[in-house]
Chains A and B, each alone.
Chain A
C-alpha cells in the first residue's frame, strides 16, 4: 500500500458517527460454543485413577484369561501330518514327480483318540506354507460368474485361468482351479465312519454368493490340470468343498473344513484313514495335515487368547502394584509449584 502516506494524516474515519451505524450489526451472537465455553469435564491422570484402572483391567482380564485357557484346553484335537509319510520310499527324493505321476496315491493312516471327543467332531485339512492370500491368487475369481448364470462369460478378473479352448471356464480363476483334491475315508473298527459333508460352508455363501443355476463348465479342461474336478451336473451352490475353498484364508497356514463326524469318539479308539494324496504341496514344501477337532464357545484349540489375557492382566496388576509402591514411597503432590521453573527463577523463562 502507499507507504508515502503521512502518519498523521492518513485519512480519518475518526469520527464516532462513522462507527455508530455498525454498532451491534456485526456483534456475534453469544453462545457457549462460539465462546468455546461448553461445559467440559477435565479428567487428569491422578494416581488413584490410573492405579484403579490398571487394577480393574487385571481383575477383569485374569479370570477371562483363565476361562479362555480352559475352553481352549477342553478342545480335543488330533493332528496328523501326512504329506511326507504318504510318499512311497522310492519317490522320497523326488516327491514332485511322484505327485505328478499316475501312480496310485492311496495312503493309509492310523489315528488314536487320546481323550473323549464329543460330537460334532470337525474334520479339517490344514495346509502350511500355502499362500491363498497372494495378490495374484486372491483376485483371481469372478464373483458375478459364481452367482449368476447369465454372466457366465464374465471372466475378466480371472486371468490367467479365464479361458480354456477359447471358452470361458466356470468357475474361473486360480482359486477354483487349484481346488484341494485330497479325499479322506474314515473307518472305525473296520466300519465306515460317516463324514457329513453337508453344511460345511457358510449358509450365506450358498444362498447369495454361489448360484443354484450355475453349473461347472469347461472346468479343468486345459492342458494344465490344477486341483480337483467338479461334477458338471451339480450346481455351484451345492459344491460345498469349492465354496469352502473359495473363502480364501488370510494366513499361509490355514484349516478348511472337510466334513463333520457326528458321533462321539471314545478314548483309545483307533481310526483308520484311507486318503488319496492327490494335492501337490511338494513343489513348494507345503505341509498337509489332517485335523480332527472338537469345538468350544471360543472356537477351536487356540491358547493364544487365554495366555495373552493372563499376560496382559498380570502386567496390569504388576503396573498397578508398582505404581502404588512408587506412590507410597515417593508421594508427590500434584500441581507442585516447584515444577514451574519460572517460580524458581523469576527472571528466566
Chain B
C-alpha cells in the first residue's frame, strides 16, 4: 500500500498484511478481510502441497462484514498453537476487542489462513494478520531436513570400508613396528642413511605415520564421488524413461531421492495402498439400494435402470430423500461455467461421483451462496441453509451436514459414511438386513459402498448441540477428538435411506505387474482403509491372492485381546503347517485386530509377518500403515511403500523406499515419496529394470573402486619390503592422484551403461531379481574375491616389474612408471572383462583411457622440471617395456579369465544362464515365458447376479474343507478363529466400531 518497500523478513507476528491479486503470501496469515462480500478468497497452494486446484479460504465469522476502513484499526488476540508443519491443520482462536463486534471466542481453522508461498487468485485483495513468520511458517517448518535414507548397499559398502580400515590399521601397525625394528637393527649400520644416534621419542612414530600416508589410498575417496555421480545418473534414467511416462497426463516418472536407486533392486516387501494405487480412483456411481430395492443390478448401471428413473419421475419420497443426501451431503462447490453447465469442485472422488450421479437423476445441485444451497429437482428449486458441516475424518468414517429446509424450516441431519459407521446408529426399529445384504453384495463385487442416512432434528436439540459444537471447535487441545465426540452426540438414530455403490476400476496392467513382481520374490501387503470384502475382491482380481484351491486366506479377527490372541495363534499354526506347501497363504487382518496384535502380540505378529508372503490389512489408519512398515523394517526387510493419497504419506516416508502415484488424490504422496510414477504398472519397470541395473552397476563400481585402490596400495606395501621398510613411495604423488581420480575412475563410470541382461529377459524372468534381493553381487564373499584379485594383480605387477627391470635398469622413476602402466593395463582389461555390454561409450572410456594415460604421461615427460622428464619416451622406445606390459596383462588376466570361464560354463549362475540363452537364442526364453495373460476382472467375466457371490466365497477354508459343520462345532459361532464367514461377520465388527468411536 505504501511507497516504502518492506521486505518479507521485516514482517513481525501481529502485523496486518495486505495482498493484492496474484501476490505471493509472504508469511502465514490469518485472514481478516477480503474484497469478496462473503469473505471468500481463492488461493493457489501448488507451491505448498503441489495441488493445482484453487482452494477457497474464508474470513473468520467474527470479522465478517467488517468495513474496509476498520480493518486498519482492528485489535484483538489470536491464540494459536506452537509452529508445526501440518499444513492441513490450524487450531486457533480469535478474540476481537471492543469496539469490534463482541467479545466472543471465534474458532480458527486452516480455512481461515493464508499460508506462506501460496498465491492469491481471483480475489481483488485480501488482508490478514501475520501469525507465523520466517522459518516458523508451515512451509518453513515442513522444509526440515528429511531423514536421509541409507540403502542396504550403502550400508554394506560402509561395512566393507570399515573392514578395509581395520585392515589398513593392522597393516600400518605391523609395518610400522617392522620398520622401527629394521631401522634399529639394519638402518643404523647403513651409514649413508645417516640416522641420528639418539632421536626424540616421537621418532618412533615417523615410520608408522609414513605407512599411514602410503596406505591412506587403500580406502578409495573417489568411491563417494563416483557413487554420487552414478546415482544421480540412475535417477536421471528414471526421469528420462519414456516407457514410464503416463500417457494420459504426460507426466513422466520422477526420482526425487537420487540416492536410493539400488534399494529398488533389493525390495522384499511392497506395501501398497488400494484406492488410487491399484485402482484408478475414477469413481463411477454404479448401483444403489434404496429402501431395500436394488437398482442397477441387471444393467450394471443404476443411472440407466428404468425402475430408478421411474421412481425419480414419480417423486417417490424415499428416492427423493436419497437423492437429496447424494446431492447436498458433501463439501462440493458448484461452479457455473460461461456456457451454463455446472462444474463441481469436489475434494473427494466419491463425492464428485455422487453429486454427478444425482444430477443425472434430475437432482441438480445448482448453486451455493454462502450458506444457502440451491438444488433443482424435476424443475422445482429447493433451498437449504447449511447450519453445520461435520467433516469427514478417517476415524469417524462418515460426514454429515445439518441443513435447514428454507421452505418449511425443518432442520435435518444428512449423513453418509461407511456401513459400519452408519448402520449401527440406525434407529431402533429399522430393518437393516436388506441394507447389510446390499453392502455385502456390493463389496463382493469390489464396489465401494456408502450408506446414506438422515434424521430430522428438533429445533432445541439442534440449538443445544450447536453450542457444544462451537465450544468443541474452538478448543486448542485435542480439537479433533473433541469434535468427533460432539458429532457423535448428533449422529445417531438415523433413518438409513440406502446404500450407494461406486465402482473404482483397476488400473491397467495391475494384475500382470503384481504377478510379475510376486514371481520376482517380492511379497505384497495391501493396506487399505476400505472394507474387508472390497479389499479381498480387489486382491483377487489383481492376482494379489490366488483363488482356492491354490490360495488360502486366513483371517485374524476378534474384538478383545483374548480373541485376537487365539485367532493369531491359530493363523500362525496354519501358516507354519502350510509354509512347506507350494500354496499361496495370505492373512487378512483388520484395523482393530491389528491394533491389538501390534500392541500386545507383537512377537507373534512379527513371526506371522515373516511367514506370510501376502497380507491384506483393511480398515487401517495412516499411522497403522506406518507401523506395519516399521514392523517389517525391524525384521530387516527392505520395504517399498506405494500410495497415492495423503493417508499414505506416513507409510511412504517410513518405508525404505516410498513411491508415490501422482494420481487423482493430489500430489501429496508423490511429493513425500522418493519416486513418483504415474501408474502402478510402472512399478514393474522401476524395480526390475531400474532397480536391478542400479544394484548391479553399483555392486561392480564399488567393488572395483576398492580393488583398484588395493592394487596400488599392495604394490606400495610390497615395495616397502625392498626399500628397508622405510615407507618410501614407489609412485610419485602426481601419478597416485591421477591414478585415483582419472585413470581408474573414468572407465568404471561408464559401467552405468552396462546391462547384464536385456530388459526383455528380465521382464520374462523376474525371478532373477533374487540376486539383487539377497545381495549376491555385493557381500563380504564377493568382496573377498575382489580383494584376492587385487592381491594377485599387485603380486603380478610387482614381481614382474622388479624382475624385468632389475640391475642396470632399476632406476626409480622408470620402475615406478613400469609398475603404474602395468596397473593401468590390468585395469583396462579387468573393466573390459567385467563389462557385459559394450556400447561405443564403453570402448571409448576403456581404451581411450589407456591412450590418455600415455598421452598424459608423455606430456609430463616433456616438462624438464618434472621428476619424470623423458621417462615415458625412454620407456616407450624400449622393447622390453612393451614385452613387460604384455606379460603383466597375460599373467594377470589369464587366471582370472580361466576362472571366470570355468564358472561361467560349468557353474553358471542364473544370470549367466540367461545371458547365454539371450545371446545364443537358447531354449530358456521360450520356456519360462510369461505371456502377459490379460486376466479379466472377475466381475467382468461373470455377469452380475445376486446369487452368485454366496457361492463364490474366495476364501479357502482350511481344515474344514471336508465338512463345514464339524468345524463350526469345534470353534463355535463367533469363535476367534473365524474363517472369514462373511455373513456372520458383520455384527461383530459393528459392535467393535461402536467402541471405536
Chain A residues with CB under 8 Å of chain B are 1-16, 18-19, 22-28, 30, 34-36, 38-45, 47, 50, 53-54, 57, 61, 64, 68, 122, 124, 126, 130-138, 143, 160-161, 174, 177-178, 202, 204, 208-209, 226-227, 247-257, 280, 283-285, 297-300, 302, 304-305, 308-309, 312, 315-316, 319, 323, 326, 332-337, 339-343, 346-349
Nearest first, the 8 A-B pairs at minimum CB distance are: A335-B922, A335-B917, A347-B582, A9-B348, A34-B240, A335-B916, A178-B192, A5-B646
Q: Is the CB of A131 within 8 A of B190?
A: yes
**B880: which of A209, A249, A299 is its contact (CB, 8 Å)?**
A299
Given contacts A12-B346, A300-B809, 17 further A-B contacts (CB under 8 A): A1-B88, A6-B394, A7-B645, A7-B646, A7-B665, A10-B665, A13-B666, A14-B664, A15-B53, A26-B251, A131-B723, A131-B724, A247-B812, A249-B811, A254-B810, A302-B807, A332-B906
Q: Is the CB of A10 within 8 A of B722?
A: no
Chain A residues with Cβ below 8 Å from B816 are 250
Question: Given A174-B194, A349-B521: A3 and B650 within 8 A (CB)?
Answer: yes
Hey, what's the 0/1 contact readout for B618-647 against A, CB within 8 Å counting as 1? 000111001000000000000000000111
Q: Is the CB of B869 within 8 A of A2?
A: no
Chain A: CB-nearest residue to B861: A204
Question: Given A6-B392, A10-B347, A335-B916: A308 and B242 within 8 A (CB)?
Answer: no
Q: Is the CB of A1 within 8 A of B905?
A: no
**B802: which of A132, A251, A284 is its contact (CB, 8 Å)?**
A251
**A299: which of B51, B346, B809 is its contact (CB, 8 Å)?**
B809
CA distance A285 to B765 in the complex (A): 69
Chain B: CB-nearest residue to A137: B193
Q: Is the CB of A3 within 8 A of B194?
A: no
**B810: which of A249, A297, A335 is its contact (CB, 8 Å)?**
A249
CA distance A188 to B84 in the complex (A): 101
Of B588-596, B700-708, B725-733, B739-747, the one contacting chain A is B725-733
Q: Is the CB of B901 within 8 A of A50?
A: yes
Q: Does B258 contact A (CB under 8 A)?
A: no
Chain B: CB-nearest residue to A283: B189
Chain B residues with Cβ below 8 Å from A38 are 753, 839-841
Chain B residues with Cβ below 8 Å from A45 are 897, 900-901, 904-905
How far is the CB of A347 from the nearest CB of chain B, in Å?
Answer: 3
CA distance A337 to B87 in the complex (A): 56
Question: Given A133-B812, A250-B811, A305-B884: A161 and B89 within 8 A (CB)?
Answer: no
CA distance A257 to B810 in the complex (A): 12
Listed residue (B350, B623, B894) with the most chain A CB atoms within 10 angstroms of its CB: B894
How far is the CB of A154 from the nearest CB of chain B, in Å?
Answer: 14
Chain A: CB-nearest residue to B889: A57
Question: Given A12-B346, A27-B250, A34-B237: A134 and B187 within 8 A (CB)?
Answer: yes
Chain B residues with Cβ below 8 Å from A3 are 621-623, 626, 646-647, 649-650
Q: Is the CB of B922 within 8 A of A343?
A: no
Q: Is the CB of A35 within 8 A of B242?
A: yes
Q: Does B429 contact A (CB under 8 A)?
A: no
**B649: which of A1, A30, A337 is its contact (CB, 8 Å)?**
A1
Q: Is the CB of B870 within 8 A of A202?
A: yes
Q: Is the CB of A10 within 8 A of B646?
A: yes
Q: Is the CB of B646 within 8 A of A11?
A: yes
Q: Is the CB of B898 within 8 A of A319?
A: yes
Q: Is the CB of B804 within 8 A of A302?
A: yes
Q: Is the CB of B193 within 8 A of A174?
A: yes
CA distance A115 to B127 in the complex (A): 110
Q: Is the CB of A7 within 8 A of B352?
A: no
Q: Is the CB of B190 within 8 A of A13?
A: no
Question: Given A27-B252, A61-B890: A335 and B924 within 8 A (CB)?
Answer: yes
How far is the CB of B277 from the nearest CB of chain A, in Å?
Answer: 11
Chain A residues with Cβ below 8 Å from B422 are none
Question: Given A44-B916, A315-B894, A334-B916: A12 and B348 within 8 A (CB)?
Answer: yes
Chain A residues with Cβ below 8 Å from B393 are 4, 6
Q: Is the CB of B51 within 8 A of A11?
A: yes
CA distance A130 to B867 in the complex (A): 22
Q: Is the CB of B880 within 8 A of A298?
A: yes
Q: Is the CB of A342 within 8 A of B767?
A: yes
Question: Given A134-B187, A134-B723, A253-B807: A11 and B898 within 8 A (CB)?
Answer: no
Q: Does B480 contact A (CB under 8 A)?
A: yes
Q: Is the CB of B807 within 8 A of A40?
A: no
List residues 508-528 of chain B with CB under 8 A from any CB of chain A. Answer: 519-521
Listed residue (A11, A64, A226) with the most chain B CB atoms within 10 angstroms of its CB: A11
CA distance A70 to B912 in the complex (A): 44
Chain B residues with CB under 8 Å of chain A are 49-53, 55, 85-89, 142, 186-187, 189-196, 210, 236-237, 239-243, 245, 248-252, 275, 331, 346-352, 391-394, 399, 480, 519-521, 529, 582, 621-623, 626, 645-647, 649-650, 653, 664-668, 672, 693, 719, 722-724, 726-728, 730, 753, 755, 765, 767, 770, 800, 802-812, 814-816, 836-842, 864, 867, 869-870, 874, 878-880, 883-884, 886-887, 890-891, 894, 897-898, 900-901, 904-906, 908, 910, 912-924, 927-928
Chain A residues with Cβ below 8 Å from B187 are 131, 134
**A42: which of B520, B582, B810, B838 is its contact (CB, 8 Å)?**
B838
Question: Given A1-B646, A305-B884: A57 and B890 within 8 A (CB)?
Answer: yes
Chain A residues with Cβ below 8 Å from B839 are 38-40
**A12: which of B189, B665, B841 is its contact (CB, 8 Å)?**
B665
CA distance A72 to B927 in the complex (A): 60
Chain B residues with Cβ below 8 Å from A133 are 719, 722-724, 728, 812
Q: Is the CB of B804 within 8 A of A304?
A: yes
Chain B residues with Cβ below 8 Å from A204 are 864, 869-870
Q: Is the CB of A304 within 8 A of B806?
A: yes
| Interchain residue pairs with CB less than 8 A apart (8) | A4-B89, A8-B275, A9-B347, A22-B251, A38-B841, A42-B836, A202-B870, A312-B891
How far is the CB of A179 from the nearest CB of chain B, in Å?
Answer: 10
Q: Is the CB of A319 within 8 A of B894?
A: yes
**B887: which of A40, A43, A131, A305 is its contact (CB, 8 Å)?**
A305
Q: Is the CB of A256 within 8 A of B894?
A: no
**B192: which of A16, A226, A332, A343 is its contact (CB, 8 Å)?**
A226
Chain B residues with Cβ below 8 Å from A19 are 248-251
Q: Is the CB of A1 within 8 A of B812?
A: no
**A298: which of B210, B236, B665, B883 is its contact (CB, 8 Å)?**
B883
**B53: which of A12, A255, A340, A346 is its contact (CB, 8 Å)?**
A12
How far is the CB of B673 from the nearest CB of chain A, in Å?
Answer: 11
Q: Is the CB of A254 within 8 A of B807?
A: yes
How far is the CB of A343 from the nearest CB of chain B, in Å?
Answer: 6
Chain B residues with Cβ below 8 Å from A304 are 803-804, 806
**B647: which of A7, A15, A40, A337 is its contact (CB, 8 Å)?**
A7
Q: Is the CB of B241 within 8 A of A308?
A: no
Q: Is the CB of A312 within 8 A of B666?
A: no
Chain B residues with Cβ below 8 Å from A297 are 879
Chain B residues with Cβ below 8 Å from A312 are 887, 890-891, 894
Q: Is the CB of B194 within 8 A of A161?
A: yes
Q: Is the CB of A342 within 8 A of B928?
A: yes
CA distance A231 to B403 in the complex (A): 117
Question: Given A10-B348, A136-B193: A4 and B251 within 8 A (CB)?
Answer: no
Chain B residues with Cβ below 8 Å from A305 are 804, 880, 883-884, 887
Chain A residues with Cβ below 8 Å from B250 are 19, 22-27
Q: Is the CB of B922 within 8 A of A4?
A: no
**B347: which of A12, A124, A316 is its contact (CB, 8 Å)?**
A12
CA distance A53 to B894 in the complex (A): 10
Chain A residues with Cβ below 8 Å from B880 are 298-299, 305
Chain B residues with Cβ below 8 Å from A24 are 250
Chain A residues with Cβ below 8 Å from B647 are 3, 5-7, 10
Q: Is the CB of A12 within 8 A of B838?
A: no
CA distance A1 to B912 in the complex (A): 45
**B807: which of A2, A300, A335 is its contact (CB, 8 Å)?**
A300
How far is the CB of B453 from the nearest CB of chain A, in Å?
Answer: 17
Chain A residues with Cβ below 8 Å from B392 are 6, 8-9
